[in-house]
Amino acid sequence: MLEIKNLGVRYGAASPALEGVDLTVRPGECVTLLGANGSGKTSLFCALSGLIPSTGQIRFEEREIGRMRPAAIVALGIAQCPEGRQLFPDLSVEKNLRLGAYVGRRDRRGTEAALERVCTLFPDVRDKLRSPAGALSGGQQQMVAIGRALMARPKLLLLDEPSLGLAPKLVEATLDAVAEINRAGTMVLLAEQNAYAALSIAHRGYVLANGRVVLEGSASALQQNELVKKAFIGA
Amino acid sequence: MRRVLWIIAAAVAVAIPFLVPKTFYLQIVAGAYITAIAVYGLNVILGYTGLLNLGHAAFFGIGAYAVALLETKAGWPFWPALLAGCAASVVLGAMVGSVSLRTRGNYFAIFTAAVGVMIAIVFTNWQELTGGNIGIVNIPPPPSIGPLAFDGDVPKYYLVLGALALTILICRLVRHSLVGRTFVAIADNEDLARAAGIDVARVRLTAFMLSTFLAGLAGGMFAMYNGNLGPDQTGLDITFEQLLYLVIGGIGTIAGPLVGTLVLVGISHELQGMQQYRFLIFGPLLVLLVRFFPLGIAGGFSRLTARWAAR
């Protein structure tokens, strides 16, 4: 379980990127984080992963992780798939995936099992294991990026806009895979601009604007909400 | 194809003492091997992790002076002195690395250049210990192991060749290990590597220590092979020379450091009469190479063979 209380992030003297954010992800949940560009979604993820300093409380599985190093946070079970389907382009797909298991490198059997699980979830990836990651299509790269995060065998998966820049059909396939990962027991925190698609697989959602939570509720309630409809769904 | 080339190269290297007419040429080749070991060290830190250590030649100096001093002043035999020289270089590397690796990009290069200059100044000015500009002479050859004696040019050549082979083997193993891939991952995308749970600071320090180990090994071999040693081998200009060999051979490749060093030492020797004016030839050569083969001779070669294979 992830519990965030009064989280703040500030870059230099500018107005804060995040202020007073409260958020929880309960066991088994898929929670979506909605918000426009610059609303603070990526800052929240980077703070959770320990990549940028933050104020307030971040508790994961009863432990305060706000001051931990990124590698220690991954080892505790929070893996991030950063925005923009980033890969290590010079390495093959398989090597990219195996790097995702870096924190669990001493558990060889677990790493092989995780690789098998990723290949089962994304059959396209299995055919491309030996290809350089830079040579894949956008959709395939996104699958490898998610797969790499899964290789750390996380309890909580952070996905930063996995549908960004993908064709509608691939958006659907990607989010189906996310739903499947969640059904298998992994908590998911999903940042999205594509609110309609995200709310169709999430249990609950939060709406961020200018670094603050302006709305939260169940997925179905948010789907009906006028503000959400106007701002994100365009209906 | 590539394996065949390596086997041919190894066969030629083993046969060279029987092929060249004068020991003079053998000495040049052995000297190039020693430099190549140091260039491999530079390749680990620059080619694999993308950090430019401009103090590299100083670590070469630490290995060389440690071996020379332990042999001449403390009376140690060569073998333990070599181990101690490598260890000294690595320990200093860990100390310098743990501070300098907090800096990035140009600042890392400047910091390490400063450390390199300081170490070179110590070598030049601590006259009671290092002999100042005259340096250390009459470093004894390695004691023989059983029937193997190392006091002639040919056995020393094979010893240097063995050290080079060991270096290439280590670099190959590292390159294809998980650690080696984390080096590449950090050079590719540091933030992503951090997000993927890689302890960037620790991996960088590991690379830096491996790099200084190879520099120390090369230095120890230099002291052993030449039998004398001066501070002119440890300055910033030597680092830049090694950097030139690496860029021309191919940064980040396995064959590049060796190819670049052999080619440039060869050309350099042919142009010896021109003294420092030989850089009039190296300069344009470097420009042309970077323009048309940014990955150097080795990188350009593998691109050409890949193109032929694709036909």
Instruction: Give the residue ranges of chain A where pLDDT is below 70.
Output: 233-235
Span B267-271, average pLDDT? 81
Span B272-281, average pLDDT? 75
Span B26-42, average pLDDT? 93
Contact, A196 vs A159, CB < 8 A?
no
Q: Which of B184, B185, B195 sits opposite A82 (nearest CB)?
A: B195
pLDDT score for B215: 96
- Note whether residue B203 is domain-resident: yes
Residue for token pair 């040579």: A135
Q: Do A98 and B195 touch (CB under 8 A)?
A: no
Residues forming a β-bridge with A157: A79, A188
pLDDT score for B281: 79
Span B82-96, average pLDDT? 94
Confidence check: pLDDT of B8 > 80? yes
Length of chain A: 235
- Say how many C-beta atoms besides its own lie within 10 A of residue B29's C-beta: 18
Instruction: Provide, for chain A, the percentages of residues in helix, strand and coil under a 3-state DSSP scheme, each rounded to the nearest 5.
Output: 40, 25, 35
Q: Which domain holds residue A170?
A: 2-233
**Residues in chain A within 8 Å Cβ distance of B191:** 51, 82
- Note whether residue B302 is domain-resident: no
Q: Which domain holds residue B60?
A: 14-235
Q: Which residues contact A7 (CB under 8 A, 6 or more apart)?
A: A18, A20, A21, A22, A23, A44, A47, A54, A55, A56, A57, A58
- What tens digit of pLDDT does each residue of A204-216 get? 999 998 899 999 9
Q: Which of A74, A86, A99 sits opposite B181 (nearest CB)?
A: A99
In terms of CA atoms, which chain B residue is nearest residue A150? B196
The C-alpha torsion from B31 through B32 and B38 to B43, rounded to 10°, is 180
Three-class SS state of B192: helix
Q: What is the CATH number of the domain that holds A111?
A: 3.40.50.300
What is the domain count for chain A? Answer: 1
Span B117-134, average pLDDT? 86
| Closest chain A C-alpha to B50 CA, distance in angstroms | 14
Percent of chain B at pLDDT > 70 equals 99
Confidence check: pLDDT of B67 > 80? yes
Residues forming a β-bridge with A212: A209
Span B73-89, average pLDDT? 90
**Residues in chain A within 8 Å Cβ distance of B188:** 88-91
| Closest chain B C-alpha to A212 CA, distance in angstroms | 24
pLDDT score for B217: 96
Span B83-102, average pLDDT? 92
Predicted TM-score of the model (pTM) = 0.80
Compare B278 and B6 and report the one with higher pLDDT.
B6
- Note whether residue B146 is domain-resident: yes
Contact, A92 vs A60, CB < 8 A?
no
A196 touches chain B (CB under 8 A): no
Rounded Cα–Cα distance for residues B190 and B276 (Å)? 40
**Best mutation site among A46, A86, A157 for testing chain B: the one with the most B CBs within 10 Å?**
A86
| Closest chain B C-alpha to A172 CA, distance in angstroms | 25
pLDDT score for A234: 58
pLDDT score for B146: 72
Q: Do B197 and A102 touch (CB under 8 A)?
A: yes
Beta-strand pair A2-9/A55-60: antiparallel
Contact, B255 vs B298, CB < 8 A?
yes
A80 touches chain B (CB under 8 A): yes
pLDDT score for B285: 80
- What tens digit of pLDDT does each residue of B218-242 get? 999 999 998 888 888 888 888 998 9
Best CA proximity match to B31, nearest among B251, B288, B245: B245
Confidence label for B43 from pLDDT (cuts 50, 70 and 90): very high
Q: Do A71 and B197 touch (CB under 8 A)?
A: yes
Q: Which residues contact B275 (CB under 8 A, 6 or more apart)?
A: none
pLDDT score for A16: 87
What is the domain count for chain B? Answer: 1
- What tens digit of pLDDT does each residue of B94-113 get? 999 998 888 877 898 999 99
Contact, A219 vs A199, CB < 8 A?
yes
Rounded Cα–Cα distance for residues B33 and B12 (Å)? 13
pLDDT score for B24: 82
Percent of chain B at pLDDT > 90 equals 35
pLDDT score for B294: 79
- In angstroms and rounded to an integer, the radius of gyration of the C-alpha atoms of chain B is 19
In terms of CA atoms, which chain B residue is nearest residue A97? B196
Residue for token pair 């004696």: B149
A88 touches chain B (CB under 8 A): yes
Read off the DSSP letter of residue B136: B
Compare A97 and B276 and report the one with higher pLDDT.
A97
| Closest chain A C-alpha to B224 CA, distance in angstroms | 39
A98 touches chain B (CB under 8 A): yes
Confidence label for B207 from pLDDT (cuts 50, 70 and 90): very high
ipTM computed for the complex: 0.74
Confidence check: pLDDT of B64 > 90? yes
Residues forming a β-bridge with A59: A3, A64
Residues forming a β-bridge with B229: B136
Rounded Cα–Cα distance for residues B202 and A98 (Å)? 19
Span B38-66, average pLDDT? 92
Residues forming a β-bridge with A205: A32, A217
In terms of CA atoms, which chain A residue is nearest residue B189? A88
Q: Do B181 and A91 touch (CB under 8 A)?
A: yes
Q: Do B197 and A75 touch (CB under 8 A)?
A: yes
Q: Helices (DSSP H) in chain A: which residue ranges? A: 41-48, 70-76, 93-100, 108-121, 123-127, 138-151, 168-183, 195-201, 219-224, 226-228
Three-class SS state of B89: helix
Q: Do B197 and A91 touch (CB under 8 A)?
A: no
pLDDT score for A64: 93
pLDDT score for B310: 66
3-state SS string for A12-25? CCCCCCEEEEEEEE
The mean pLDDT of chain B is 87
The pair of three-digit structure tokens given for residue B225, joined into one six-digit string: 């092979």
Residue A207 — φ and ψ, nearest 5°? -110, 125
Q: B236-249 and B256-270 helices cross at what angle (nearest 10)? A: 110
Contact, B240 vs B57, CB < 8 A?
no
| Closest chain B C-alpha to A229 CA, distance in angstroms | 33
pLDDT score for A233: 63
- Note whether residue B261 is domain-resident: no
- What tens digit of pLDDT does each residue of B152-198 get? 888 889 999 999 999 999 999 998 888 888 988 888 888 888 888 88
